[in-house]
Amino acid sequence: MDSIFVMFILALLPILWLVIALCALKWQAHIAGVSALLVAFVEALLVWDMPFNLAATAALEGFAMALWPIVLVIIAAVFTYNLTVFTGAMDIIKRMITSISNDKRILVLLIGWCFGGFLEGMAGFGVAIAIPASMLYALGFSPLEAILACLIANGCPTMFGSIGIPTATLASITALDSTTLAFVQTIQVAPLLFLSPFFMIMLVSGGIKGLKGLIPFTCVASLSFVIPEILAARFVGVELPVVIASVCSLGATFAYAAYYGKHHEVPAEYRMNIPQDETQKPITPANALQAWSPFILIFVLLLLTSKLVPAINEPLSAIKSDVLIYQGEGASPYTFTWVNTPGILILLSGIIGGFIQRCPIKDLYKVMKDTIKQMSKTIMTMLSVLACAKIMGYAGMISAIAQFFVTVLGNFYPLAAPLIGALGTFVTGSGTSSEVLFGNVQLEAAQAIQANEYWLVAANSLGTGAGKMLSPQSIAIGTAACALNGKDGEILGKIAKYAFGYVMVMALTIYFGQALAAWLV
């Protein structure tokens, strides 16, 4: 037992050091990330006896995964936003959104919750943080408010991001029925999914007082997301729960916002004071379409190239290269999908949208150059964190962490199941990666303690939401989108209370809800 505990502590060391560097030492994220990578590399060599070439190729695979598709997606998303600011289109978008309501509590739900949920369901990879956070920031939210609200909003939909890839991957590696697994996941996440919009409003309005008069409205935003997600998972499958839920929520929330605005005065403390220029021309359908064109194109291209349209998806997805990077046992080629990947599609949408907004090529180039410069530290953070995660996975550190929980907790293991899923996403920044790392660990634990396999495996996906909030990658995306570089540690400290609160609710849900599992499956 002593040796298991020692290995558990040593395996956690890169993660512990990362948190210390960010929160206690106040290091910038890119420096903290590189230092955590060095800790993991040295431990892999000295403690886990990993040959130098294997540790190096593991890190190289992490670099590759960070660059393609994650960094690509983030640069594309921030470029698209920066371009709309440069061309003046964002001013039109702001005027249109605030014409629905200038109540910051309503705006955070329309943009962060509904639109952000849609982007997570369609694209994932940080897009649902980068674009909504930058839009809220442009509307006048403080950068901290914008980032934290989008981190909360992005947690619960993670399991069905990118057209359901995390859940589909989990079902594949555990050989469980994907539709049943998705249904169980939606039941587990429903309480927190319902509560998240309430937390978002409380965050941007200074506490529970912000809910005054808005509880019915917030219930509409919540229930119109929760119920369609459960029904979609039960009757459609893993690909569309969040997409369907976010579209339903957007429609219901938009309609209620219009009704609410006609019958209620916005309290002064929650009113967004966006300057009005009397010389501005009225917004016509033509210039509204022009302003929204990049985001409309993102929606259209992501939809047309998704699995929903196999005639387009399959040939584009076939344009790929499989490269064996890691050279050790259990290695599999890393796949570079060159065309049908969110980063390329969002970048293409941004460029075409720029042309529609009559932006010259030289200005497109300037915006892209400035975006890459703006994102340089974020790119370094992504590279180091993903490389650290790959080393930890291949060396056996992740397995040592999981083994400790299974061995020590026994029948109380369900309390830790979501925490393990959260840990995987915290380290890798990816719900899918957490499923790959720990999916079979959860399955084996369920078999060992004779728990329901679907219930415990789904708990891993549940935990990814809390891990996504805390992940240095997610935080780095938000800080880059809102020009708040260097504040990663501060954001981590502020979002931690939400993430740990979510983990506690998740743990109790999984442990005490086990009796429900037999009825669901």
DSSP of 303-351, one letter per residue?
Answer: HHTSTTSHHHHHHHHT-EEEE----STT--PEEEESSSSHHHHHHHHHH
Distance of CA 271 to the CA centre of its chain: 28
Model confidence at 483, pLDDT cuts 50, 70, 90, reads: confident
Q: What's 115's DSSP letter?
A: I
- For the chain, give the percent of residues with pLDDT over 90: 34
d(CA 326, CA 323): 9
Question: How is residue 375 written in tokens?
Answer: 């994102």
pLDDT higher than 70, residue 455: yes
Q: What is the mean pLDDT of residues 296-316?
A: 84
pLDDT at 280 over 90: no
Average pLDDT for residues 184-199, to the nearest whole number? Answer: 94
**Quick one: how far is CA 416 from the chain centroid?**
22
Q: Is the pLDDT of residue 278 over 60?
A: no
Q: pLDDT value at position 373?
A: 87
Single-letter amino acid code for the residue at 70: I
Angle at 357 between CA 354 and CA 360, to 5 degrees: 60
Task: Work out the end-to-end distance of the chain between its first and last CA atoms, rounded to an integer number of angstroms.
Answer: 36
Residue 195 has pLDDT above 90, yes or no: yes
List pLDDT tens digits, range 8-40: 899 889 888 887 887 778 787 788 889 999 999
**Sign of the dihedral defined by the CA atoms of residues 316, 341, 78, 304, in that order:** positive
**The predicted structure's pLDDT at residue 487:** 81
List, for residues 394-442, the tens digit of each pLDDT value: 898 877 887 888 788 888 999 989 998 898 788 777 777 778 767 777 8
Q: Residues 195-210: what's their mean pLDDT? A: 92
Contacts 24+ apart (CB under 8 A), 306-309: 306/122, 306/163, 306/239, 307/163, 307/239, 308/163, 308/239, 308/240
277 has a pLDDT exceeding 60: no
504, burial (CB in 10 Å: exposed 0-12, middle 13-18, buried 19+)? middle
Q: Which residues lie across from 335 on neighbouring strands?
A: 322
Of 505 and 237, the structure prediction assigns the larger pLDDT to: 505
Average confidence score pLDDT of the chain? 86
Q: Give phi and psi for 323, each to the nearest 5.
A: -125, 125
- pLDDT surpassing 90 at residue 351: yes
pLDDT digits (tens, 9 = 90+) for 154-174: 888 888 887 777 887 788 777
Secondary structure of 351-401 in the HEC alphabet?
HHHHHHCCCCHHHHHHHHHHHHHHHHHHHHHHHHHHHHHHHHHHHCHHHHH
Taking the C-alpha atoms of residue 172 and residue 329, their distance in angstroms, rounded to an integer, is 21
pLDDT at 276 over 60: no
Q: What is the pLDDT of residues 80-121, one digit of tens each?
A: 878 988 998 878 877 777 777 788 899 999 999 988 888 788
- Please state the rounded mean pLDDT for residues 55-76: 86
Q: In sequence order, what are the residues at sequence separation of 6 or more whose Cβ sits closer than 8 angstroms to the Cβ of residue 187?
A: 230, 516, 520
> What is the predicted pLDDT for the residue at 112?
92
The type of residue at 205 is: S
- Alpha-carbon distance 461 to 185, whole Å? 7
Whose structure tokens read 């130098």? 52
pTM above 0.85, yes or no: no
How far apart CA 336 and CA 492 sit, in angstroms, is: 31
* Confidence at residue 275, expressed as pLDDT on a 0 to 100 scale: 58
Q: What is the mean pLDDT of residues 449-477?
A: 89
Residue of higher predicted confidence among 303 and 134: 134
* Contact yes or no for 510/414 (Cβ under 8 A): yes
Q: Are 470 and 499 in contact (CB under 8 A)?
A: yes
Position 212 pLDDT exceeds 60: yes
- The pLDDT confidence band at residue 123, using thresholds 50, 70 and 90, is low
More confident residue, 362 or 29: 362
pLDDT of 222-272, one tens digit each? 999 999 999 988 887 787 788 889 889 988 998 888 887 777 787 778 877
DSSP string, 124-188: -TTHHHHHHHHHHHHHT--HHHHHHHHHHHHHGGGGGHHHHHHHHHHHHHHT--HHHHHHHHHHH
- Rounded CA-CA distance 136/108 in Å is 7
pLDDT exceeds cutoff 70 at 279: no
Say which residue, 503 or 410, is predicted with more confidence.
Answer: 503
Which of 136-140, 154-158, 485-489 is the least confident region? 485-489
